[in-house]
Amino acid sequence: MQWEIVIGLEVHTQLSTNTKIFSGASTAFGAEPNTQADAVSIALPGVLPVLNKGAVERAIRFGLATGAHIANRSVFARKNYFYPDLPKGYQISQFDLPVVGQGALTIQVEPLSGNAKPYEKTVRITRAHLEEDAGKSLHGDFHGMTGIDLNRAGTPLLEIVSEPDMCSAAEAVAYAKALHTLVRWIGICDGNMQEGSFRCDVNVSVRKPGQPLGTRREIKNLNSFKFMQQAIDYEVQWQIDTIENGGKVQQATVLFNPDTGETRAMRSKEDAHDYRYFPDPDLLPLEISNDWIEQVRGTLPELPQAKQARYVNDLGLSTYDASVLTSSREMADFFEAALGDASEQAKICANWIIGEVSAQLNRDGLDMTQCPITAQQLGGMLTRIADGTISNSGAKEVFRTMWAEGGSADAIIEAKGLKQVSDSGAIEALVDEIISANAEKVAEYRSGKDKLFGFFVGLAMKASKGKANPAQLNDILKKKLEG
Binding-site size for another protein (CB under 8 A) equals 29
C-alpha distances (whole Å) from 466 to each of 85, 245, 411, 460 are: 68, 71, 19, 8
Phi/psi at 213 (nearest 5 deg)? Answer: -55, 140
Q: Do the Cβ atoms of 304 and 290 come closer than 8 Å?
A: no
Contact with another protein (CB under 8 A) among 80, 215, 358, 474: 80
As measured in angstroms, the least distance from the Cβ of 44 to another protein is 7
- Residue 298 backbone dihedrals phi, psi, to 5 degrees: -65, -20
Residue 359 near another protein by CB under 8 A: no
Among 30, 144, 281, 298, binds another protein (CB under 8 A): 281
| Contact region with another protein (CB under 8 A), list: 104-112, 257-265, 273-281, 341-349 | 273-281
- Residues 211 and 238: beta-carbon distance below 8 Å: no
Any contact of residue 274 with another protein (CB under 8 A)?
Answer: yes
- Nearer to another protein (CB atom), residue 88 or residue 180: 88
Distance CA 266, CA 445 (A): 79
Among 28, 44, 116, 429, binds another protein (CB under 8 A): 44
**Best CA proximity match to 254, nearest among 241, 238, 274:** 238
- Scanning 13-21, 82-90, 116-124, 300-308 for contacts with another protein by CB under 8 A, the matching segment is 82-90
Pick 270 or 274: Cβ nearer another protein = 274
Which segments within 363-482 are labelled E, that is strand? none
Among 21, 64, 109, 148, binds another protein (CB under 8 A): 148
Residue type, 8: G
Who contacts 443 (Cβ-Cβ below 8 Å, separation ≥6)?
none
Phi then psi for residue 17, to 5 deg, are -80, 155
- Say whether residue 90 binds another protein (CB under 8 A): yes
CA dist., res. 236 & res. 257, Å (int): 15
Direct distance between the N- and C-terminal alpha carbons of the chain, in angstroms, rounded to an integer: 67
CB 150 to another protein: min, Å: 8
Nearer Cβ to another protein, position 50 or 104? 50
Q: Which of 6, 31, 42, 309 binds another protein (CB under 8 A)?
A: 42
Considering the complex, state which of residue 34 and residue 102 has its C-beta at the smaller distance from another protein.
Answer: 34
Residues 6+ apart with CB under 8 A from 296: 57, 60, 61, 64
Find the radius of gyration of the CA atoms of the chain.
Answer: 30
Which residue number, 273 or 465, has a Cβ lying nearer to another protein? 273
Mapping DSSP to helix (H, G, I), strand (E, B) and coil, where does residue 298 land?
Answer: coil
Dist. CA 363–CA 436, nearest whole Å: 47
Residue from 61, 78, 180, 329 binding another protein (CB under 8 A): 78
Residue 204 forms beta bridges with which residues?
7, 217
Determine which residue in the list 47, 255, 368, 411 makes contact with another protein, applying CB under 8 A: 47
217 near another protein (CB under 8 A): no
266 binds another protein, rule: CB under 8 A: no
| 278 lies in the site for another protein, by CB under 8 A | yes
Beta carbons of 224 and 193 less than 8 angstroms apart: yes
Bridge partners, 265 (sequence order): 254
Among 2, 30, 32, 45, binds another protein (CB under 8 A): 45
39 is a site residue for another protein (CB under 8 A): yes
416-475 residues in contact with another protein (CB under 8 A) are: none
Stretch that binds another protein, among 247-255, 278-286, 418-426, 472-480 (CB under 8 A): 278-286
Q: Work out whether 403 is an interface residue with another protein (CB under 8 A).
A: no
In the list 28, 265, 266, 284, the residue contacting another protein (rule: CB under 8 A) is 284
Determine which residue in the list 18, 67, 69, 89 makes contact with another protein, applying CB under 8 A: 89
C-beta neighbour count of 73 within 10 angstroms: 10
Span interacting with another protein, options 74-82, 126-134, 344-352, 379-387, rule CB under 8 A: 74-82
Longest dimension (CA), the chain: 101
User: Site residues (CB under 8 A) for another protein?
Assistant: 39, 42-51, 78, 80, 82, 84, 87-90, 146, 148, 274, 276-278, 281-284
